[in-house]
Amino acid sequence: MISWIFYLLLLFGAVYLIVHYVGERTQVRGDSMYPSLCDGDNLIVDKISYRFSDPGRYDIVVFPFRYQEGMFYIKRVIGLPGETVQIQDGNIYINGKILKEPYGNEPIRNPGLASEAITLGQDEYFVLGDNRNNSADSREPSVGCISREDIIGRAVLRIWPASSIGFLN
C-alpha cells in the first residue's frame, strides 16, 4: 500500500512539474491568428525553451491579458527589444526599414499606437495577430508592448484538428 501511495505521489508530482514548467495544452479562441491558427485549434505551448533563450521574431507566443484573469492571448512577435516599430500605409517598419514578412493576412488598416514610432525597452516585444485587421495586439493600449516576464511560452505544435496536426512555423 505504501509503495502505491509513493508511486501515485511521484506521478502527480511529475505531471505537475511538466504542466507548470515544460509544456501545456491551450485552445485558440477567435480568428486573430488566421490563417496560421484557427478558432478551436488545440496547441502545445513550450514553456521551457524561453528559460534558456529569448523569443525571436515571428515566434508565436502566449501571454496573459492584463485586464482579465484567466484570459490569454496568442500573437506573433514582430518587434524585438531595443527596436523601433512603426506602421505606415499598411506596412510595418522596423528601425525605419519595411519588414518583409509572409504572415500578415492583409494590409493593416489601423496602425493604432504604432502610427507613431514605438521604441521598445530592453525587455519589451511588439506582437501582432496574423489577421491584422481583426486582432487586439500591441497596437491597442489595452495590450500594448509585452514584457519578457509576461510571456508564458511559445506555441510549437498543433494537435487538433487531426487534419492540421504538425509543428508551427
Do residues 63 and 152 touch, judged by C-beta distance below 8 A? Answer: yes
How far apart are alpha carbons 51 and 74 in whole angstroms?
A: 19
pLDDT for 136 = 93
Enzyme catalytic residues: 32, 75
Do residues 154 and 146 touch, judged by C-beta distance below 8 A? Answer: no
CATH superfamily of 25-167: Umud Fragment, subunit A (2.10.109.10)
Residue 100: left if φ>0, alpha if ψ -120 to 50, beta else—which one?
A: beta
How far apart are alpha carbons 103 and 34 in whole angstroms?
A: 9
C-alpha cell at 12: 502527480
Mean pLDDT on 31-38: 91
pLDDT for 68 = 82
* Residue spans per domain, the chain: 25-167
pLDDT for 92 = 96
Can you say how many angstroms the Cα of residue 47 is from the centroid of all Cα atoms in its chain?
12
pLDDT tens readout for residues 137-154? 999 999 999 999 999 999
Given pLDDT bands bounded at 50, 70 and 90, which one contains residue 71? confident
pLDDT at 13 exceeding the cut of 80: no
